[in-house]
Each structure stands twice: as C-alpha cells, then as structure tokens.
C-alpha cells in the first residue's frame, strides 16, 4: 500500500513540474501505451470472435486514447500555431474517427496506423521539448552594435 502511495506522489510531482513540451510527450506516451495494449489484446489478425473481457479492455484502451487525443486537440493554439495547429487538428480528428471505427470493427490495422503516427508525432515533440530546453538553458547572447 505504501509503495502505491509513493508511486502516486512521484507521478503527480513529475506531472506538476513538467514543462509544456514534456506534458505533451507524456500524453503521447500514454496514448501509444494504450494502443499497444489494445493491439496486444486484438492479436495479429482481425478477429471478430474476441472474448467479451478482451473486447471491454480493448474498448477502454481505445477510448482512453481518444480522450488523450481530444485533450491534445483542445490544447492547440491556432493563433500562435497557425497552419501547423490546423493540420494537427485535422490529423487528430482523423485519429479519433479511425479509432472510433476500429473500436466497432476491431480492425487492428487501423489501430496500428494511428499508433505509429502517434509515435512519430511523439518523436517530433521530444525533439521540440529538447530544443526548447536547450534554448532556455543557453546564456543570453547579445549583438555588439558598437562595432
């Protein structure tokens, strides 16, 4: 019981002290993890004869991922993000539609496509978060206009 409490406190502290970029990476991490678990339960081929317990667990993982994607959607800043934010919004909308369809049909191919794209986006956000950290930690450099 004490271990669970310590683990929970550690996780909460990690989230509270994370930068915005790190939080986004954490969301992507959890989305990929949820889809990996759902894919594992689905098996290598599309199977319409899944056990009821597996169907429920698959649905929960996909739904959790959809909630994460929705959170990513509402956090987009269209004023600062411009075209990138619009494209991400469209992509997130497509992700949620694909996950909705795959949850109904148990189409592991669709889940795998979304999972791989989320993993690619996660990699890009890791680079963004790293570069943002490097810029913050660099000493301010001025321009010598005196000649």
Q: Is 58 helix (H, G, I), strand (E, B) or coil?
A: helix
What domains sit in the chain, N to C, each tagged with a CATH number?
A: 21-123 (1.20.120.340)
* Tally of helices (H runs) and strands (E runs) in the chain: 5, 0
Give residue 21's pLDDT: 84
Angle between helices 108-137 and 52-74 (to 10 degrees): 40
Q: Encode pLDDT of 101-131 as tens digits.
A: 999 998 999 999 999 999 999 999 999 888 8
Give residue 113's pLDDT: 97
Question: Could you tell me what percent of the chain has a pLDDT over 70?
Answer: 76
Indicate the pTM of the whole model.
Answer: 0.78
- With CA atoms as reference, report the closest residue to 88 among 113, 71, 105, 108: 71
């Amino acid at each position: 019981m004490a271990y669970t409490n310590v683990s929970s406190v550690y996780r909460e502290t990690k989230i509270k002290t994370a930068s915005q970029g790190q939080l986004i990476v954490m969301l992507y991490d959890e989305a990929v993890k949820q889809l990996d678990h759902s894919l594992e339960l689905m098996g290598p081929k599309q199977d319409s004869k899944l056990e009821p317990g597996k169907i429920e667990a698959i649905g929960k993982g996909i739904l959790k991922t959809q909630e994460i994607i929705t959170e990513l959607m509402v956090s987009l800043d269209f004023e600062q993000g411009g075209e990138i934010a619009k494209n991400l919004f469209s992509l997130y909308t497509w992700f949620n539609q694909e996950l909705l369809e795959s949850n109904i049909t148990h189409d592991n191919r669709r889940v795998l496509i979304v999972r791989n794209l989320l993993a690619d986006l996660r990699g890009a956000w890791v680079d963004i978060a790293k570069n943002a950290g490097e810029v913050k930690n660099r000493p301010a450099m001025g321009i010598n206009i005196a000649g």
